[in-house]
Chain A
Amino acid sequence: MAKITYIESNGKEHVVEVADGLSVMEGAVKNLVPGIDADCGGACACATCHVYVDEKWLSKMPPKQDMEQTMLDFANDVHDNSRLSCQIKVSAALDGLVVRMPKSQH
C-alpha cells in the first residue's frame, strides 16, 4: 500500500491509497482522479497516461523500458521527469509519491 498524491494541471491535489501491484495509472482511475485517460488500459500502447514524477521521487522509480521511452518521445510536453503511469508498479517503496498530470493527454 502506498499513499500517492496526484496533482491535476490546475493544481488540485488528490491524495489516495493505492494497493501494491496496481499501477500508478490504475491508482488514479480507481480513485476517480481526473487527468489520466489510459485509453489502452495499461498496455503501453497509447501514451495517454503521461505524468510528471516529482523530482524527489525520480531516483526511486523503476527504470523505463524501451517501449515506454519511445512512446514518451512522441507524447506532448515531455520533460525529463515524464513517465507513463501504467508502467509504474505501486509498492510500499513508493509511499508518499507525488505525480503531476499534464494539461492534456492528447
Chain B
Amino acid sequence: MADHVVIVGGGQAAAQAAASLRSEGHAGAITIIGEEIHPPYQRPPLSKKYLSGELAEDRLFIKPPEFYEASGIGLKLGVTATAIDRSGKRVATPKGDVAYDRLILATGSHVRRLNLKGSSLANVFYLRSIADVDLIRPHFEKGKHLVIIGAGYIGLEVAAVAATRGLKVSVVEIASRCLARVTSPVISSFFDGVHRKAGVHFHYDARLEIFEGHDRVEDVLVNGEKLNADFVIAGIGILPSDHLARDAGLTVENGIVVDEFGRTSDPDIYAAGDCTVHFNPFAGRKVRLESVQNAIDQAKIVAAAITGKPKSYAEVPWFWSDQYDLKLQTAGLFSPTDQVVLRGDPATAKFAAFYLRDGVLAAVDAINAAPEFMMGKLLIAKGARLDPARLADPAIPMKNVAT
C-alpha cells in the first residue's frame, strides 16, 4: 500500500481522486501534476457566478490549499506532463521525471477552437479556465455588443450573465435550435424564449464568417447579416485531452477508454473525468461525459480500485445549468428518438420533460422542478417503466408516479 500514485491533471477529478485515495486509506505518496497555476477548482461557476463577479476566485477552490499539505498530497502546479514512459513507469515534465507505481489520468478536456478567418484575433475568447474568464471580464460593460458563437450550455450561461449586465447579446448557432446536441426541442424552445425576453438575439442555422479588423474582430457576418461586435466568445464544445494516453499507446477512442473500474488498457494506469470514454449502462453505448458528476464518481471508483476495494461505476449521469433565475437539472442521457412527456406548463417556468425509451424512463430535464429531477434520477437508476399519462399529471406527486 505504499505505492506512489501520480495524478496527471489538476481539476475536479484529480482533487476527488486524491481526497478519496486518502479517505479510502491509501498510505503511499500522492502527487498531482496540474498544468494550471491554481489548485483544483470548480469549473461550473466560471460561466455563471465567477463571470458575473458574485464569486471570488478562492471560493472556486474545491479544497483549500492547506488541504493538500495536511493530507500529504503533493501539488506540482503550472507543470505540464509531456509524456508517459509506461515501461519505466515515469511521467516526463519540463521540470524532470516523476516516477509512479499507479498513474491516474485526469487530464480533462480543452475547448474546440474556431477555424475561421480572423478567429485568432485579440477579442475572440473561449471560456474554460479562471485565466480565460479573467481575460473576458473587463469586456463585460453595459452597452457593449457581445457575439456568442454556439448556443450550448456555455453559450447560454454566458448570454444570461451578459444580458443581465446590460450588454447587447447575439448568439450564433450552426444548428436550428439552442442546446440541440443535448436536449429536446421543447426545452430548446423554452430557453430560446427566456433569452429572447431578456433581449438576446438568436441566429440559428448560421453560416458564419468572421471579418478581420486590424488587430481585432469588428464585424461578424452571419447568413449575410453583418453584426458589429465589440467582442466574441466561442462556446462550441470541448475535446478530450487524451494525447498523452494516445502517445503512450493506450486505447483511445475520442477519449481514453476505461472499464467500469476506471482502468485503461494498462493495468497500472487509470483515468477519470472528461478525458475518458466508457460504456455507460444508461446510454447502452460508449459515451464521453463532460460533467462534474462523472469526474467525481469516476475518481471515486478509481480510488476504490487502487485501494483494493473495486466498485463498478453505475451512477446515473446528471448535470445542471443556471441561467437567470432558472435552474435546469438533468438526469440520464437524452436521445433524439425518445418519447417526450411534458409535466407542468413551460409558461410557468416550473416544469419537466421526461424521456421514455421503449416505455422506460431514460432521462429528465427539470426546470425549477427539483422533485422531478430527484425522483427522476431514482427512477432512471431503477429502469422504471412508466405510464406516460401518470407522469404527465402534476396532480400525482412524483413519489407516486411509478405505482
Contact = CB atoms under 8 A, between A and B. Distances in A.
Interface of A: 22, 26, 29-32, 34, 39-41, 43-47, 66-67, 70-71, 73-74
Interface on chain B toward A: helix, strand, loop, or mixed SS?
Answer: helix
B67 interface: yes
Contacts of B120: none
A39 B62 CA distance: 9
B78 interface: no
B237 to A, nearest CB: 22
Interface in B37-72: 42, 44-45, 59-60, 62-64, 66-67, 70
Contacts of B370: 66-67, 70-71, 73-74
A70 B45 CA distance: 22
B59 A70 contact: no
Contacts of B378: 74
Contact of B374 (A34, A40, A41, A73): A73
B317 to A, nearest CB: 13
A41 B371 contact: no
- Sorted nearest first, the 10 A-B pairs with minimum C-beta distance are A74-B374, A70-B370, A45-B320, A41-B42, A71-B370, A30-B64, A70-B371, A39-B296, A67-B370, A32-B67
A41 B320 contact: no
Contacts of B241: none
A41 B44 CA distance: 9
A106 B44 CA distance: 21
A32 B66 contact: yes
A40 B42 CA distance: 9
B329 interface: yes
A34 to B, nearest CB: 8
Given A70-B371, A74-B371, A43 B67 contact: no
Contact of A74 (B60, B64, B67, B375): B375
Interface in B277-330: 292-293, 296, 318, 320, 322, 327, 329
B320 A26 contact: no
A18 B67 CA distance: 16
B327 A44 contact: yes
B383 to A, nearest CB: 18
A39 B44 contact: no
B37 to A, nearest CB: 20
A37 B78 CA distance: 27
Nearest to B59: A26
A67 B42 contact: no
B368 interface: yes
Interface string B59-90: 11011101100100000000000000000000
Nearest to B23: A34
Given A29-B64, A32-B64, A39-B296, 16 more contacts: A26-B59, A29-B62, A31-B64, A32-B66, A34-B23, A40-B292, A40-B320, A41-B60, A44-B327, A45-B320, A45-B329, A67-B327, A67-B368, A70-B370, A73-B374, A74-B370
Nearest to B16: A39
A74 B371 CA distance: 7
17 contacts: A30-B64, A32-B64, A32-B70, A34-B23, A40-B292, A41-B45, A44-B327, A45-B329, A47-B374, A66-B370, A70-B369, A70-B374, A71-B370, A73-B370, A73-B374, A74-B374, A74-B378
Nearest to A31: B64
A41 B48 CA distance: 12
A41 B40 CA distance: 13
Contacts of B45: 41, 43
A29 B63 contact: yes
B44 A43 contact: yes
Contacts of B329: 45
A73 B322 CA distance: 21
Contacts of A47: 374
A85 to B, nearest CB: 15
Nearest to B64: A30
A31 B63 CA distance: 9
A66 B371 CA distance: 10
